[in-house]
Amino acid sequence: MVTVTRSQRLCPLQEIPDGGATAVDARLCGADGVDELVSVILLRRGGQVWGYLNVCPHAGRRLDYAPGKFLLQQDTLICAVHGASFEQASGACVGGPCRGESLHRVRIRVEDGTVDLLPED
């Protein structure tokens, strides 16, 4: 598993479609202590942004069907590989093969029109 050990600027808020999602790359610390480049999902509603690692808990695969392109239905993010459904605000799996599990949330801050990744507590 990877961890966030330092703050990072991810993207301008305007690069995330309102009511949509995108993926950005971030450098996180791997279990061996070496930084790894990982994909982070950013979901936006107005000025609020949620961030999750782009890894489905069911099979460990990315959730996007093409780089940075996600299946969204109302307030649900759907894994393009197995159809697992996740609440956007909580990351909880509410349908599909990993019901009861959750996406790995990362801490996000929106300030002055930019989206930052924050270290884990």
Q: How many CB atoms lie within 10 A of CB 14?
A: 11
Looking at residues 46-71, what average pLDDT do you find? 94
Beta-carbon contacts of residue 67 (< 8 Å; ≥ 6 apart): 23
Q: How many CA atoms lie within 13 A of 33 on its CB side?
A: 0
Beta-carbon contacts of residue 89 (< 8 Å; ≥ 6 apart): 50, 75
- Domain assignment present for 40: yes
Q: How many domains is the chain built from?
A: 1
Query: What is the tens place of the pLDDT at every residue in 4-37?
Result: 888 899 999 999 999 999 999 998 887 778 888 9
**Is residue 40 packed enough to be buried (19+ CB in 10 Å), middle (13-18) or exposed (0-12)?**
buried
- Domain assignment present for 64: yes
CATH number at residue 20: 2.102.10.10
- Domain assignment present for 44: yes
Asked whether the predicted pLDDT for residue 97 surpasses 80, the reply is: yes
More confident residue, 45 or 28: 45
- Domain assignment present for 2: no
Q: What is the mean pLDDT of the chain?
A: 92
- Domain assignment present for 118: no
**pTM (predicted TM-score):** 0.92
The residue with tokens 């270290």 is: 119
Question: What distance in Å separates the CA atoms of residue 61 and residue 17, rounded to the nearest whole number?
Answer: 23
Residue 102 sits in which domain range?
Answer: 8-113
